[in-house]
Amino acid sequence: MSKKEMYRQKMQGQLDEWKAELDKLKGKTKQSKAEIKMEAKEEIEYLEGKIHEKEKKLKEIEMASEDTRESLKDDVESAWDSLKSGVEEASSKSRDEL
């Protein structure tokens, strides 16, 4: 398996985990108080948008040449860390509030 394919699979696996976590949050918000539900909904929508952005970046990396892919990789890794923090924070809030 090529480095490109291994990287793509790693990133796709992480996206799949975050999507599953957001699905759990959605389920919890259906049962929560109206105010908390609205806050959680906004946060979920924001994170879904970020996940969508990362999916597009992952496709860019897949289509890029080796040189371009390496330069994109650092930017994607940084954005990835930011998204990871957001998902973890949302998940933590849901355990505390919902």
Mean pLDDT by 10 residues, the chain (98 residues): 83 86 78 69 82 82 75 72 74 60
Q: How many domains does the chain have?
A: 1
Residues of the domain holding 64: 3-97
User: CA angle, corner 51, sides to 49 and 55, nearest 5?
Assistant: 115
Q: How far is CA 48 from CA 4, 64, 67, 81, 93, in A?
A: 25, 24, 29, 15, 16
Rounded-to-integer distance, Cα 62 and Cα 66, Å: 10
Can you give the pLDDT at residue 70? Answer: 72
Q: The pTM is what?
A: 0.49
Rounded-to-integer distance, Cα 2 and Cα 96, Å: 42
Can you give the pLDDT at residue 43? Answer: 80
Can you give the pLDDT at residue 32? Answer: 59
Can you give the pLDDT at residue 45? Answer: 86
